[in-house]
Amino acid sequence: MFLIILLLVASCVCEQPCPDNESVDISDVRSLEDGTIVQDGVVFPPNYVYAKNVSGEIRRFGCLCKVKNCFRKCCPMGSVFHERICTEMPDFDVIKNEGLNLHYSSKFRKKVEMKDRTFDMLYGKPCAAIYLEDNTWYVQEDGELYVDIPSNIPPVIIYKPDKYCIDTFVNEKNETQLNALICFVTKPDNNNYALSSSCMLISCFFILLTVAVYAFLPELRNLHGMVLMAYLLSFFVGFLFFATMQILILRKEISQEECTVLTFIIYFSLLSAFFWLNVMCYDIWWTFSGKRATSGRHGSVMKRFCCYAGYAFGVPTVLTVILGALEFSDLPMQHPLLPKLRLQGCFLYGTSKLIYLYGPIVVLCVANLIFFTLTAIKIAQIKRDTEMLRSKDSSTHDQDRKDTQRMNLSCSRFSLYVKLFAVMGVNWILEVVSSFYPEADFFWQFSDAYNVLVGLIIFIIFVCKKKTFKLIKKRVTGCRKVNTNHNEVNNFHNKIISRWRDGERNASVETFKTLDGVDTRTGSNGIVQL
């Protein structure tokens, strides 16, 4: 994991600090002693300056939009679009003469004149293929262009200065209008949604199958088994609703309100899964620490499980409530803590995903690594002490054997947790890396394929074992014996009833026969006399 992070950092260091269309030529300005360059009052630190070969000459460029808020004007200052080309018409240039409305939030906007120098401008079309934006748009204070499309998911599309330019358009009647030109952007391939949702549904099948096996076997329904089932069910719900959301997006049958609701469900489920994984790591550390009581009573186990559930479901509930409260709060649009669920489409993206999803997951993973390290140290110490006791003559061999068996069982469980942590760790490393490279289709396909393996690997780790197969065989055989005994009891019961009925019928016949053979006399009063 750390190797991948280092490679990412190294690749970022080697890259150009900004695109060419977000930089300005500063070759004619001399740098200061520390490498800083100042041009027209704009300070360019050394890390935002780069050199490039232009027509055989090395030129220096500064990343203007890294050091100041900036936006892009399609034509030079004083020029406007007339008959589809940039034409010098300074009297018609709205930006030069009137300034530009900058939105400081979704509710507040301010007209900024060019002389204010609170931001700077880039000039020229950002790309060759551009189109005129017909929807409502506005420029934020950071230079990003927001385009409102209420019927779309997401309802707001955000463009950075390297993807748009704005300028004045003059028609035949010399009427002016400020318009935005947007670069054509390749839409994401919907097949990725189809592949991703299919992979997650396949993984859900194996996860549910694992839960079914643990629920079927009484021997596995101990504290460890119940915690594992809670973890897998949380993971199952998260994957199931995520796949459902992607399918609805693919079929274009989802509204923004439904997207928001599904986001909260998925967020809560995935966080709960990671908190249950944290419970597993804590529980195995607690087992080897010697602090756990040796009592295995059902009441004690259920009490501990309820405490774990309060933590694993309680903290994600609080985080989900905080996420919802911030989303529907009055925070400005550019506030770093605003999740922007309703602006960015379904689920979390960008900084919001980093803060609200990856942040807690990283903290939990660090805690899990600490628990694993402490547990491994304790296991090594116990094994060393056990070997020392075996080397001595002792009259407590039976007790030592029981302790060894208990130790081996706990070590086996520890090994399972480490494997599970590794499987989920790789899964989320792929998720993080793919978010850094959204255009790498091959990497996305590899990540989606791994989503299939997650459920399958979990099934193999926890179910595909000789011990589990023996328990399943024992359980099935026991059920057959119970059914056989039940059938035998029913047959025996039916025989008794049949014999009783036959005996009752025979007794009635004998009674009639007896009455038929008796000498009867009828008295004067009509009474039969025996």
- The tens digit of pLDDT for each residue in 85-114 reads 899 998 988 888 877 766 544 444 455 555
Q: Given a cut of 80, is residue 60 above it in pLDDT?
A: yes
Query: Is residue 27 pLDDT above 50, yes or no?
Result: yes
Q: d(Cα 216, Cα 220) in Å, to the nearest integer?
A: 8
Burial group, residue 400, by CB count within 10 angstroms (0-12, 13-18, 19+): middle
Residue 4 lies in a domain: no
Q: Are 248 and 157 found together in one domain? A: no
Most confident segment among 96-110, 135-149, 441-455: 135-149
Last residue in a domain, options 183, 204, 220:
183
Q: Quick one: pLDDT band at residue 24, thresholds 50, 70, 90? A: confident
Helix (H, G, I), strand (E, B) or coil at 382: helix
* Rounded-to-integer distance, Cα 304 and Cα 308, Å: 6
516 within some domain? no
- pLDDT band per the 50, 70, 90 thresholds, residue 239: very high
Share of the chain above pLDDT 90, in %: 16
The token duo for 159 is 């463009």
Q: What are the backbone angles phi and psi of residue 168, rounded to the nearest 5°?
A: -90, 135
pLDDT above 50 (res 526) = no
Q: How many domains would you assign to the chain?
A: 3
Q: How far is CA 40 from the centre of its chain?
A: 46
- Nearest in space to 351 (alpha carbons), one of 365, 333, 338, 366: 338
Same domain, 110 and 213: no
The mean predicted confidence, pLDDT, of the chain is 76
Residues 265, 210: one domain?
A: yes
Distance CA 120, CA 242 (A): 42
pLDDT at 312: 96
Domain that holds residue 409: 190-389+403-476
pLDDT for position 7: 43
Are 430 and 447 spatial neighbours (Cβ–Cβ below 8 Å)? yes
Q: Where does residue 447 rank: exposed (0-12), middle (13-18), buried (19+ CB within 10 A)?
A: buried
For the ranges 139-148, 281-290, 445-454, 486-495, the lowest mean pLDDT is seen at: 486-495
Confirm whether 505 is domain-assigned. no
In angstroms, the CA 271 to CA 408 distance is 31
Predicted local confidence at residue 204, as pLDDT: 93
pLDDT at 328 over 70: yes
Region of poorest pLDDT, from 176-180, 231-235, 268-272, 500-504: 500-504
Is the residue at 446 inside a domain? yes
- Per the CB < 8 A criterion, the answer to whether 49 and 13 are in contact is no
* Domain's final residue, options 183, 198, 222: 183
Residue pointed to by tokens 């805690």:
367
Per-residue pLDDT of 117-134, as tens digits, reads: 566 778 888 887 777 777
Residue 520: per-residue pLDDT: 41
In this structure, the number of other CB atoms found within 10 A of the CB of residue 154 comes to 17
Strand (E) or helix (H) holding 443: helix 441-462
Q: What is the pLDDT averaged over residues 351-372?
A: 87
User: Is the domain of 63 the same as that of 80?
Assistant: no
The predicted pLDDT at position 400 comes to 53
Say whether both 278 and 179 belong to one domain: no
The answer to whether position 509 is within a domain reads: no
**Three-class DSSP category at 373:** helix
* 314 inside domain: yes
CATH of the domain at 227: 1.20.1070.10
What is the CATH number for 124? 2.170.180.11
Give the domain CATH number at 24. 2.30.160.11
Nearest to 430 by CA among 419, 412, 442: 442
Together in a domain, 372 and 242: yes
What's the rounded mean pLDDT across residues 215-243? 91
**Residue 143 and residue 122 in contact, taking contact as beta carbons nearer than 8 Å:** no
CA dist., res. 273 & res. 124, Å (int): 50
Same domain, 233 and 215: yes
> Is 498 domain-assigned?
no
Instruction: Judge whether residue 13 has pLDDT over 70.
Output: no
Same domain membership, residue 201 and residue 162:
no
Q: Do 231 and 359 reside in the same domain of the chain?
A: yes
- Using the 3D structure, point to which of 23, 43, 67 is the last residue of a domain: 67
Q: What is the C-alpha to C-alpha distance for residues 11 and 81, in angstroms, rounded to an integer?
A: 40
Asked if 117 and 219 sit in the same domain, the reply is no
* Residue 28 confidence (pLDDT) above 50: yes
* Most confident listed range (163-167, 321-325, 380-384, 406-410): 321-325
Token code pair at residue 248:
């609805």
Do residues 88 and 57 share a domain? no
Domain presence at residue 439:
yes
Q: Write down the pLDDT at residue 4.
A: 44
Long-range Cβ contacts of 108-114 (<8 Å, 24+ apart): 108/332, 109/138, 114/77
Tokens 């190294």 sit at which residue?
A: 10
The Cα–Cα gap between 184 and 131 comes to 7
Domain co-membership, 339 together with 250: yes
Higher pLDDT, 454 or 79: 79
- For residues 195 and 214, is the Cβ–Cβ distance under 8 A? no
Question: Does the structure show a pLDDT above 50 at 519?
Answer: no
> What's the pLDDT band for 242 if we cut at 50, 70, 90?
very high
